[in-house]
Structures are given as C-alpha cells and as structure tokens.
C-alpha cells in the first residue's frame, strides 16, 4: 500500500467531484427557481455566468467567478491529472463530458463576457427544459463518478 | 387598425375614457365600452349584420352597441335565449351557431330593399340585429322575414329600463347615433364602419341605399319586416331551419352544463353550457321575465351590444382586418362566389345567400371548414375579399362576450384536449395578440379590483358565479368571494348583481389601478431624441424633416403638464442641449470623451416641455442649419446611447434614435458584414444574428430602467440592423427602416418618413408596462415572439407599449384538458398612461376544447397559423439557419396536410386534399418562402431581410399577412358597385386577385398592396381613359419614370382611385409609399417578385409547390 500519484489524483478528484455535485444541485435549483418565477432572468444569468463587473472609476476588473466556467475548469483540471497519472480508463470515461463542455462553450450565444446563458432567450421553454435536463444528467454523472473515484482510490491504494 | 380606432386613441378616445373613467358614471362608461368594443370586436358572427347595417352607416353601429346594453333586449332575449343556445350550442359539427349571424345578415338584405338614408338607417339595423339575435330565435323562425325588425323594436321598447339606453333606442335610429356620439369614440368609428359593410356585402349592395333610416322610429311598427327583406328572410328561414334542427343536439349539451346548476330554469338550459350562464339562468329563474330583462338579461343584453358594435367595427377595419372580424360573412361569400366564378359578383340573391350562410360558420362549418378541397384541382381558392377569422364554436352567449379576433386570436379556435392530439394535428398552437390596439374601452375605477386569490386572474365574463357571493375562477377553478363593493352595479345602480358589472360583461376592459399596482409614482411622459448629425446624416436631409414634424406635432405629443423632452446629437462626439428655463437660447454642450461618457449638466438636459416650449422650438428651428457644413463622418452611436440611457434612467421614458450609418467609433462600433456578392446566393444567409451583445446588454439595462428605444434607420448602406435592432427588440421599442432615404432622390421614402413620424409622435403610449398572459391550468406558455424582455415564464417587461405592437405566443398543453369544455386565456397589460394614470387593460378569450382530430382541423385559423409559423421561422433562421427555417415551414405544410389525410379524412381520394379552412395554407407557406425575410436566390440586402423578419414578429397579424401575401387589385375598371360609403366618400371595393402574372393584362392597371409599399403597375396598352383621367397623361409613353403620387384630377375615375388608395393607407398605422410603374420600369422586378404563384428562376410556382407537397405526403 503506497501513496502514488494516481491515488492522489483520485483523492483530489473525489473532493472536486463533491464540489461539482454541489454545483450541479445549485444549477438545478437555479433553473427551477427561474421556471417557477422567483427570479428575474437577468439576475439569474448574472449568477450563473461568471460576471465581470466593471467597477467604475477604479477600473478594477473584479471577476466574480460563478458556476459555469469553474465547473468546466475543474473538470478539465482533473482530466489532465488523470492523463498525467496514466489512468486511461478513468480518462476515457471523462472524455465525453469534456467534449460536451467544449462544444457547449463554443456554441454559446454571442456574448462579450464569459458565460453560457443569455437572459433574453433563457425563458424559452425549450432552452429552459434543456438546461434543467442538463443539470440532472450532470448530477447523475457526478454522483456515479464520485463513487467510481472512491473505488478507484481504494483500488489504487490497495493494489499498489 | 382602423383609422377610426387610431383617432379615437390619440384624441378623444382616451379623453373620453378618462372622463368617464371614474366609476361614478358607470352607465356612461359602460356604454362607451360597449361601443368601443363593438368596434374592435365585432365578432365574426355579427358581421352579416354589420353588413346589413352598413348601409345605415355610422349610426348603426353605435346604436347597436347601445341597444345591446339595454336590458330590454335581454328580456326579449330570454325566451329567445333558449333558442339561441341551440344555435350556438351546436358543437363544431353543427351548423346552427353560424346561423344566427346569418339571420342577421338576412336582415340587412331586407334593408337594402328598402330605401333608407344611409346614415340614419344604421341605428335601426343594429337594433334589428340585436333583437334578432336574442329575441329572435323564436320570432325568426316563424316570421323570419320581418322578424328582426319587429322584434327589435319590441325589445327596444322593453329596453327602456336602462336609462340612457332606453332613451336612445326608442327614438329609433336617429337616437342611437346620438348616443354613440356621446361616447365619442363611436363617432369616429362609425365612418369606417360604413365602408366595411358595403364592402363585405357587396352582393347585396344594390339593396343598400335604402336601409331606411326611418327604421329607427318605425322599427316598432315593423317597417323593417314589411320592408323588403323578403329575400333575406328566405335565407334566414333556411338558416333557422338548420338551427332548429340543430337544436336537439344542442339541448343535451346544455343540459350537461346545467347539471351544475340544477336549479336553473329549463328555458335557460341551453345557455347553461357555461357556468356563468348558469348564474344568469338562475337569476332569470328567480326573476320572472319582466325584470329579468334587465338583470338577467344582462348577459344577453350585452351580446346585442356586441353584435351591433362588432358589426360596425369590421367595416372600419382594413379589408384584412375585416376579414378577421367578419369571418362569417366573408367566409361564406368567398366560397359561394368561387363556385359561381365571377367572385364578388353583386349581391347574391337571397336564395343564394342561404346556402352560403349555412356553410359559413365554423360551428356550422364542420361541414364547411372541413369540406375537402383538392388543391390541385381548385385553382381559385383566394376569396375575393380578405380572409375572415374563424369563429370559435362556442355557445352564442359566450361568443358574444368573447374577445375580438383583432386583439386576441388563437391558431386553433378549438383547443385539442391533449398534447398528443395536438402533436397529431401537426399544427402550431399559439396566440396572436394586439393588446394595446387603439380602442375605446369601458373604463372601470374601483378601489378593489376583483381577482382570483390564487392565480390572480382578473374577473372576466367567463367566470362562473356559484351564487351571489362566490365566483369560481375560470383559469384555476378556485372559488373566491365576491367583495362587498362588487355587489353594487354602477351601470344599473342596483345592488346584488355582481354578474352584471362591466367587468363581467366585457372581455376587454380597462381598470384604473389603485396604488398597490405602482412600484413608484407613475412616471411622467419623457421623450428623448437622439439624432445622428454626421456628414452622412446631413446628406440625407432627414434632420429638417424630423425637426419640422416635431415642430408641427409638439402640442400633440401625448402627455400632461409633467411631460419632459430632451435632445442629444452625435457624430464622433456627443452634443447635449441645455434647455434650462431662463436661457435666452439653447446651449450646446459637447462631450468628446466618448470612452467614459458623462452628463455635463444632468438637471437641465431633460426639460419640462410646457415650461420650455419656446427654447425647444428654437432648437428645432436651428438644428438643421447647425450641422449643415459638418465634415465629420464617424458615428459614435454606442456612446450616444449610453449617454441617453444615463439621462433617462432616473425616470424611464422613450428614446428615439435616428441613425444613418454603421456606428464605427467607440463602444458598440461595428464592421460591415455583408458581402454584396452573396445577396442573391442560394446558399445560407450569414450574419442574421447580432455581431456583438453590446446593444442587447444596453437594451436590457434600459428595460430595467423603464426606457424603451425606438430605432429609425435611414441609410443606403449596410447598417447591420441585425445588431442594432437588438436595442429596440429587447427594450420593447419599434424599428423603422427607410432604405436609400434621401431628401431629393427618394421622395417616396421622405413622404413615408414624414407620415410615419407623425403617427409615431402622436400615437398613444404606455410607460413602464408589463404584460402577463395567463391561461387555464393545463396549458402553458412555451415561447414569446415580439419586442420585449421576458421576465418570467408568463410576464413580459415592456418599458413602453405602443398601439402598433403585436405579440405572438406559442403554447403547449402540459396536462390533459379532460372534463373541460372551454379554456380561457387572459392577457393583462399594466401600464402608465401618458397622463400619469396607472391602468390595466385586460383581454380575455374563451375557446372550446375538443377531443377529435377533425374538430381540431375544423377550428384551424390559417392566417394565425401562418403568422405564428413566420415568427417561429424567424427564430429558427437566427438560431439555426435560413435553410432550416425554410424546410421547417415546408414541413409544417406537409405534416399537417398528411396528418389530415391520414387521420381526419374518411374517404381517400387522389390529389392533394386539404380541409377548406386550411385551403390557403400551402399558398401562405409558399408566400412565406418567397417573402423577403426567407427568400433565397433573389438579391436581397441583409438589412432589408432582417427588417422583414422584425416586421413579421412585430406587426399585428392583419398587417403581417399583407406583408406575407400582398393583395392585388385591378384599378382601371373601378366602379361604385359594392363600394363602401364613408362619410361623403365612396370607396370602391375591387376584388382581390390571385398573385399571378396571368391575372395581369396589358390593357389594365393593377395595384399591388404589399403592406409597406404599393405598386401601381400600368399595362402597356392601358386604356387611354385611365391614363388621362387618373394619371393625367396623354399616353402610355408619357407616364413618368418615377411617379409617387396620383395627381388630383377632378374626374370620377381619379377620385375613385385616390379614395381607394387612401382608404387602404388609412387603415394601417404606417404609411405605405406608392410607386407608379410602367412595364419597363426599374421597379418592375420588385413588383413581379410579389407574384407569388408564379415560377421564378429560384423558386417554385404554386402548382409546382403543390405537387411537391403531394409527393412528400404520399411518400
């Protein structure tokens, strides 16, 4: 039993996946709120998108990192970690989601700031339903991968 | 849409409402409302009547509305009511429902026979019609011919109960008119009305003149009856017969409805279908006929009002509009005529009418609407007059109360019970709204506005009263208490009749909102003008036109003593104008730091118009000269918008932006994205979506601060409307586009700009508005189309709302609508008027629910479907691609027709089969494919394409339809036959021709009306007579190359032609420019592009398109 880099990757992924699960839940709640009318879409998109708030006069760019981009970055980060650790199977399992994230971000509406959601179209029932479905699917994926990483971590620790 | 409507809004209309506004004069209010309604509404069914009435003219319709109000009719009606129910009752399948209208129409017939003074005559007719309706049924059946008149009269006599009403009615025709006038709005409206009736009626035309004004007085005597109506009576008789036959079925239905209210009188039973009816019935039961007349009758009484009113409105409307309103009459007419061949041929004999009538109504229509049409064999499908809106197959009582199709229209007038039925039908389900249309409405002032406690629905005519103290919401079915205040009926000044309150009698009503409906004190009217003064702008010369228009209309700007105005001009710098009171002349302040814009003197840039009017006028006079010599070519539009936003954000208001070139400096700078060589490409069109989100974000900021941005684009070059348009689209503004505007080279555009500006500056406006659309539980809103920002699933944020804006909504069925006979939709618009009053305008529409696919098809409204599909296609071409959108439209036609063939058609025949109600669907789809917005292969500038897309989404349906499928008329043989009489003018009504070159002839002159533009094409061998009498030229060769005006010649032909063209123009809120073209003119290709049924090098002909559809369907 040895603490290898792979084991470290799994532990880290475990923690980060927990965070991603939180994000996914947050995402679902946000869209549900939107659908049931508690929130104004402009506010909603501001919290879902990483907003770059220009603080006047000081011209300081304060980046309020919110959900979407961090989620993508975290996921990308541990994919790279698994690549480095040569955990091919795990990497392979994560590739589809990685590809989806890339596709999703490149096909986002025209925006001058990072972000995915356009407040003017998000109330469209199709888009809203898609986003909700996306949230649930991701939640399921992250939950499964959470247990997979737990298993992977123990397996690596034990087998080495 | 109708001119009358417009006037009323801007001028007296609102004024009156205001005055009346206070509930104090409930009676007065109501009546006006009735009138107003009628104008707009005019349910299709009335139309026949309307036509009849038409002869009488204005008087008629006013009286009509009134009369309805009077309880009298009700009383009379009651007995009839039962009969009526039968008629309406007939579910889709049954004809009867229509019959009533028909009966009405017959009425008109007689009139014509009688010679009557047009003006006066009208009043009586309404009465007749109304009575006919209510009382009618029995009377009609028996003595159909005279029936209406006598009945009518009698009711009137009975009517007296209503104070004002009674008085008016008794007098007869004469009296009614007066009452109308009192209302104000009516007065204006009537004229339009007149035209319509004739129009619709053309067949009967001859009879026309007579409509005995006398009637008013005479009516009781029954002159009407005696009078000639003979022919019509026959028709009626037939109809009635149908109706009566229909009755049996109807009764069962009613009984079902009654189940809820067993207590009801049997007689009432029929009405019962709706819960509220029950209430009435009950009331009736309680009160014997006599008294009931008023109270009980209340419902019935209203309907009459509607009828009358409704009838007139159509007349006022456009042909297109009329079509919508007039479903009954027109529908039938076209049909009849077609078979006949000649089409608009003069008044069909009474006998002829009857069959047509039978076919008419949707309800009755089951036969007609579902009549199988083989599109490949029947070529002349286009009705000679505008296509009417179908009438939902509701009971007559409900239909009488229902919202006007001009305001509220549904693509399927019979709502499928489940999503699966809807999916099978392959037709889109959605609503088309024109919520802020110029109307004269009943206005209610009340400290408590009665709404459902759980879903917040406003009380409306379609709720049911369980007893006097409780009502059941028709959207969520919650039982609510009736507040004490609501028990008092200000109209009749009686207590304990909540169901007779105006709120429960009018499907469109306006409330003056108490302070709970304000987040802040109502804002003043604030207008900020942002003007491009770069070299390019000065070259076009628009500035002087603008300044002159504003000077002319500065006193007509809607507002009160708090109205504020401000001006900003910009080129590469931003110029502000200090108009502070006390200055001797306007002071220009230049801000050149466009990166970080600030307001030099925030307090004095927006000034009170009344206090500083002289300074404003000085500025407007000097502005055009100020920049005459400018050489600045750059345009910092983005910064100017930011500055204007800062200026307006404390108050909210309207920002009018005039731009003449691509913004190329500072924030929001754009680059040209259009490749002129790709304009005609058959490949996909690029760059339909915005290049940057700067304008969209700014629009959202504006929306948050209640600022709307209206964009006037005057440019010969590419301006990237797709990007700039976002500023208006998301802030609920409007977009005007004048391609190739130049003060010298393009006089047609200049005139259009002037007229549009006048309308723009003086039209009614609502500030800080929101619109919420509610629908019965089980239905939900899917997507909105139009200019606004969607704030939540059912709430639109509209910083400004204007009377020319249309909206579309896609709906989906989330839960099965089992157990429901009807569903309702309610659009509530909360706004601040220019007088600083917070108001709520509520429209409620009620539609039947059906379970079978063929019923769904029978209720399809082809124009509404086309309008909604166009909106969806615009979205699709932006989010996906133009070719996708085109495929989707073609597929919509293929899917719905093949679904019809497979599921709804019992007998399989070869050919391309469509139900009669959808017979124009393939034509409209083809027209959409060839529309500027979606066409490929024809050179189309990107801006014009994008503008066409904006128009499809933004224009109310009646105008959008003209832009999709233009109307073609032959003008060289205009005659007064079937003409409309408006005031002293006679408006000829040529028939609408198919859009095919085969319909053109070298000997003729043809007018193509495409909404925003008209072409008058002169054939090479045009009659000498036409050339000299209308155009004032000696020969064909002498027709000038560029001619935009019809010369004012003092000849009958010239007067007719000009009357017709100006009548077409008056019916729309924008000004179509007229181009008179010869056969070899440069504009000829533009003219020919509108010949939709013909083949072009890149598009199929109508016949080929049908073959294509057939091929796809039979796959």
**C-alpha angle B231-B234-B239 in degrees, rounded to nearest 5:** 135
The band of B271, judged by pLDDT with boundaries at 50, 70 and 90, is very low
Optimal mutation site among A123, A124, A131, interface B, most CBs of chain B within 10 A: A123
By Cβ distance, the residue of A40, A110, A119 closest to B689 is: A110
Q: Least CB-CB distance to A110: which of B692, B781, B792? A: B692
Q: How far is CA B940 from the centre of its chain?
A: 29
What letter does residue B417 receive in the DSSP assignment? S
B1089 and B930 Cβ atoms separated by less than 8 Å = yes
Nearest Cβ partner of A125 from B693, B783, B791? B783
Which chain B positions have a beta carbon within 8 Å of A42's beta carbon? Answer: 700, 704
B782/A109 Cβ within 8 A: no
For residues B571 and B134, the model is more confident at: B571
Q: How far is B790 from chain A (nearest CA, A)?
A: 7
Buried b (16+ CB within 10 A) or exposed e, B1085-1112: eebebbbbbbebeebbbbeebbebbbee
For chain B, say whether A2 makes contact (Cβ under 8 Å). no
How large is the ipTM?
0.81
pLDDT value at residue B413: 92
Nearest chain A residue to B875 by CA distance is A121
Mark yes or no for CB contact A120/B696 under 8 Å: yes
Residue range B930-938: mean pLDDT, rounded: 88
Q: Does B671 touch chain A (CB under 8 A)?
A: no
Q: Check if A125 contacts B (Cβ < 8 Å).
A: yes
The CA distance from B701 to B705, in Å, is 6
DSSP B412: B
Take residue B635 and report the two structure tokens written for it. Answer: 């345009």
Structure tokens at B680: 């005609």
Separation of alpha carbons A139 and B2, rounded Å: 56
Average pLDDT over residues B884-909: 87
pLDDT for residue B133? 35
For chain A, the 3-state helix, strand and coil shares in percent, each to the nearest 5, are 70, 5, 25
A123:B792 CB<8 A: yes
Across B396-413, average pLDDT: 90
CB B170, CB B179: distance < 8 Å: no
| 8 Å CB contact of B693 and A119 | no
Does B885 score more than 90 pLDDT? Answer: yes
CB B635 within 8 A of CB B534: yes
> Are B792 and A111 an interchain contact pair (Cβ–Cβ within 8 Å)?
no
Give the model's confidence band at A2: pLDDT under 50 very low, under 70 low, under 90 confident, else very high.
low
- Nearest by CB to B730, from A40, A120, A123: name it: A120
- Would you state the pLDDT for residue B547? 94
Q: How far apart are CA A23 and CA B1055, in angstroms?
A: 73
Question: How many CB pairs below 8 A link A and B?
Answer: 52
Q: Tell whether the model's pLDDT for residue B1102 goes beyond 80.
A: yes
Asked whether the beta carbons of B901 and B913 are under 8 A apart, the reply is: yes
Report the gap between the CA of B772 and the closest CA in chain A (Å): 12
Distance from C-alpha of B441 to C-alpha of B508, rounded to nearest angstrom: 7
Question: Does B693 lie at the interface with A, CB-CB under 8 angstroms?
Answer: yes
Overall average pLDDT of the A84-113 stretch = 88
Between residues 717 and 736 of chain B, which touch chain A (CB distance below 8 Å)? 730
**Are the beta carbons of B784 and A123 separated by less than 8 Å?**
yes
When the pLDDT of each residue in chain B is averaged and rounded to a whole number, the result is 72
Q: Look at residue A87 in the predicted model and tell me its pLDDT.
A: 87
Residues 876-895 of B with CB under 8 A from A: none
Is B792 in contact with A112 (Cβ distance < 8 A)?
Answer: no
Among B597, B789, B796, B875, the residue to mutate for chain A (most A Cβ within 10 A): B789
Which long-range contacts does B280-287 make (Cβ < 8 Å, 24+ apart)? Answer: B280/B499, B283/B497, B283/B499, B284/B78
Q: Which of these ranges, B158-172, B434-448, B802-816, B1035-1049, has the smallest mean pLDDT? A: B158-172
Q: Given pLDDT bands bounded at 50, 70 and 90, which one contains residue A49?
A: low
- Please indicate, yes or no, whether the overall pTM of this predicted structure exceeds 0.80: no
Average pLDDT over residues B253-270: 33
End-to-end alpha carbon distance in chain A:
5
With an 8 Å Cβ cutoff, are A125 and B789 in contact? no
Out of B693, B781, B791, the one facing A40 most closely (by C-beta) is B791
**Strand pairing category for A60-64 and A51-55:** antiparallel
CB B226 within 8 A of CB B113: no
Among A35, A39, A123, beta carbon nearest to B790: A123
pLDDT of B949 reads 94
pLDDT digits (tens, 9 = 90+) for B512-560: 988 888 888 899 999 999 999 999 999 899 999 999 999 999 999 999 9
* Inter-CA distances, B503 with B451, B842, B1025, Å: 11, 9, 57
pLDDT tens readout for residues B32-59: 333 333 333 333 333 333 333 333 333 3
A46 CB-near residues (< 8 Å, 6+ apart): none
pLDDT, tens only, B996-1037: 888 888 888 999 999 889 999 988 888 888 888 888 888 888
């Amino acid at each position: 039993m040895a603490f290898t880099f792979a084991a470290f990757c799994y532990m880290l992924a475990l923690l980060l996946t927990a965070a991603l699960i939180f994000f996914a839940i947050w995402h679902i709640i946000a869209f549900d709120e939107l659908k049931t009318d508690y929130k104004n879409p402009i506010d909603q998109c501001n919290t879902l998108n990483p907003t770059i708030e220009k603080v006047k006069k000081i011209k300081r760019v304060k980046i309020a990192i919110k959900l979407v981009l961090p989620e993508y970055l975290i996921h990308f980060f541990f994919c790279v970690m698994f690549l480095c650790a040569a955990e091919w199977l795990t990497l392979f399992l994560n590739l589809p989601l990685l590809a989806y994230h890339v596709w999703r971000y490149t096909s986002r509406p025209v925006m001058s700031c990072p972000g995915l959601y356009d407040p003017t179209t998000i109330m469209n029932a199709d888009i809203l339903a898609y986003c909700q479905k996306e949230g649930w699917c991701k939640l399921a994926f992250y939950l499964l991968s959470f247990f997979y990483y737990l298993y992977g971590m123990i397996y690596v620790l034990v087998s080495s | 849409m109708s001119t009358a409507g417009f006037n009323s809004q801007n001028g007296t209309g609102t004024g009156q409402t205001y005055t009346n506004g206070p509930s104090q004069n409930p009676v007065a209010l109501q009546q006006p409302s009735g009138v107003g309604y009628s104008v707009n509404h005019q349910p299709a069914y009335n139309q026949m009547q309307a036509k009849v009435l038409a002869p009488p003219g204005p008087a008629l319709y006013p009286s009509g509305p009134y009369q309805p109000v009077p309880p009298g009719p009700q009383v009379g009606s009651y007995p009839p009511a039962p009969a009526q129910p039968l008629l309406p009752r007939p579910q889709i399948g049954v004809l009867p429902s229509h019959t009533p209208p028909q009966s009405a129409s017959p009425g008109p017939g007689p009139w014509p026979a009688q010679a009557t003074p047009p003006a006066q005559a009208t009043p009586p007719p309404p009465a007749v019609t109304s009575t006919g309706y209510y009382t009618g049924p029995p009377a009609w059946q028996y003595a159909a011919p005279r029936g209406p008149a006598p009945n009518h009269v009698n009711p009137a006599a009975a009517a007296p109960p209503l104070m004002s009403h009674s008085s008016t009615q008794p007098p007869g025709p004469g009296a009614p008119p007066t009452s109308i006038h009192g209302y104000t709005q009516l007065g204006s409206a009537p004229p339009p009305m007149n035209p319509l009736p004739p129009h619709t009626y053309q067949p009967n035309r001859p009879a026309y003149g007579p409509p005995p004004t006398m009637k008013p007085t005479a009516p009781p005597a029954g002159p009407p009856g005696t009078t000639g109506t003979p022919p019509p009576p026959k028709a009626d008789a037939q109809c009635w017969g149908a109706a009566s036959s229909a009755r049996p079925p109807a009764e069962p239905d009613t009984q079902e409805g009654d189940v809820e209210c067993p207590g009801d009188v049997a007689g009432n039973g029929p009405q019962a279908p709706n819960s509220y009816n029950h209430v009435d019935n009950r009331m009736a039961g309680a009160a014997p006929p006599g008294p009931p007349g008023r109270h009980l009758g209340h419902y019935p009484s209203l309907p009459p009002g509607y009828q009358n009113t409704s009838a007139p409105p159509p007349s006022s409307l456009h042909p297109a509009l009329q079509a919508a309103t007039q479903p009954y009459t027109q529908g039938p007419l076209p049909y009849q005529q077609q078979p006949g061949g000649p089409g608009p041929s003069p008044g069909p004999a009474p006998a002829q009418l009857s069959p047509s009538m039978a076919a008419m109504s949707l309800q009755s229509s089951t036969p007609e609407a579902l009549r199988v049409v083989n599109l490949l064999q029947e070529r002349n499908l286009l009705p000679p007059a505008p296509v009417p809106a179908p009438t939902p197959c509701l009971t007559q009582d409900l239909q009488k109360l229902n919202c006007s199709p001009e305001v509220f229209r549904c693509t399927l007038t019979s709502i499928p019970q489940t999503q699966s039925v809807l999916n099978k039908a392959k037709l889109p389900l959605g609503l088309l709204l024109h919520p802020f249309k110029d109307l004269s409405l009943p206005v209610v002032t009340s400290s408590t506005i009665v709404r459902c406690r759980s879903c917040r629905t406003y009380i409306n005519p379609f709720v049911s009263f369980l007893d006097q103290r409780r009502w059941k919401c028709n959207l969520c079915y919650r039982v609510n208490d009736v507040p004490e205040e609501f028990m008092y009926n200000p109209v009749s000044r009686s207590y304990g009749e909540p169901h007779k309150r105006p709120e429960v009698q009018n499907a469109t009503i306006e409330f003056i909102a108490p302070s709970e409906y304000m987040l802040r004190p109502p804002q003043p009217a604030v207008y900020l003008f942002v003007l491009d003064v770069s070299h390019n702008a000065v070259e076009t010369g628009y500035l002087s036109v603008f300044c002159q228009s504003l000077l002319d209309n500065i006193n007509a700007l809607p507002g009160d003593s708090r109205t504020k105005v401000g001006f900003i001009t910009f080129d590469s710098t931003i110029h502000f104008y200090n108009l502070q009171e006390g200055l001797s002349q306007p002071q220009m302040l230049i801000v050149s730091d466009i990166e970080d814009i600030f307001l030099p003197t925030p307090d004095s840039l927006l000034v009170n118009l009344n206090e500083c009017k002289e300074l404003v006028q000085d500025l407007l006079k000097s502005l055009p000269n100020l920049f005459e010599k400018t050489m600045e070519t750059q345009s910092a539009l983005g910064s100017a918008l930011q500055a204007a936003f800062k200026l307006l954000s404390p108050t909210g208001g309207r920002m009018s932006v005039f731009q003449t070139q691509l913004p190329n400096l500072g924030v929001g700078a754009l680059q040209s994205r259009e490749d002129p060589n790709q304009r005609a490409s058959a490949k996909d069109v690029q760059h339909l979506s915005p290049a940057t989100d700067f304008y969209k974000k700014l629009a959202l900021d504006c929306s948050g601060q209640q600022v709307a941005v209206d964009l006037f684009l005057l440019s010969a070059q590419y301006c990237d409307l797709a990007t700039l348009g976002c500023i208006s689209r998301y802030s609920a503004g409007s977009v005007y586009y004048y391609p190739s505007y130049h003060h010298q080279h393009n006089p047609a555009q200049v005139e259009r700009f002037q007229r549009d500006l006048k309308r723009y500056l003086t039209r009614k406006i609502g500030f800080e508005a929101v619109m919420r659309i509610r629908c019965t539980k089980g239905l939900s809103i899917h997507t909105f189309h139009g200019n606004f920002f969607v704030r939540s699933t059912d709430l639109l944020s509209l910083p400004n709302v204007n009377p020319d804006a249309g909206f579309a909504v896609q709906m989906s069925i989330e839960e099965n609508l089992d157990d429901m006979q009807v569903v309702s939709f309610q659009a509530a618009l909360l706004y601040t008027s220019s007088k600083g009053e917070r108001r709520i305008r509520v429209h409620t529409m009620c539609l039947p629910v059906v379970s079978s696919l063929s019923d769904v098809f029978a209720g399809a409204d082809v124009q509404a479907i086309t309008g909604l599909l166009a909106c969806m296609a615009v979205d699709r071409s932006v989010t996906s691609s133009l070719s996708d959108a085109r495929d989707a439209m073609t597929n919509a036609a293929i899917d719905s027709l093949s679904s019809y063939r497979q599921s709804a058609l019992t007998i399989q025949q070869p050919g391309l089969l469509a139900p009669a109600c959808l017979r124009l669907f393939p034509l409209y789809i083809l027209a959409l494919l060839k529309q500027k917005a979606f066409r490929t292969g024809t050179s189309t500038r990107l801006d014009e394409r994008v503008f066409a897309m904006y128009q499809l989404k933004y224009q109310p349906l009646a105008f959008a339809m003209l832009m999709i499928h233009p109307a073609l008329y032959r003008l060289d043989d205009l005659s007064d036959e079937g003409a409309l009489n408006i005031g002293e003018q006679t408006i000829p009504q040529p028939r609408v021709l198919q859009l095919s070159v085969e319909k053109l002839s070298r000997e003729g002159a043809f007018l193509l009306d495409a909404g925003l533009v008209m072409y008058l094409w002169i054939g090479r061998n045009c009659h000498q007579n036409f050339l000299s009498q209308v155009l004032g030229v000696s020969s064909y060769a002498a027709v000038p190359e560029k001619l935009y005006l019809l010369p004012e010649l003092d000849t009958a032909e010239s007067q007719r032609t000009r009357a017709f063209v100006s009548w077409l123009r008056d019916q729309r809120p924008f000004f179509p420019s007229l181009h008179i073209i010869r056969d070899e003119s440069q504009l000829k290709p533009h003219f020919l592009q509108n010949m939709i049924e013909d083949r072009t090098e890149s598009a199929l002909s109508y016949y080929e398109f049908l073959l294509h559809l057939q091929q796809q369907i039979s796959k």
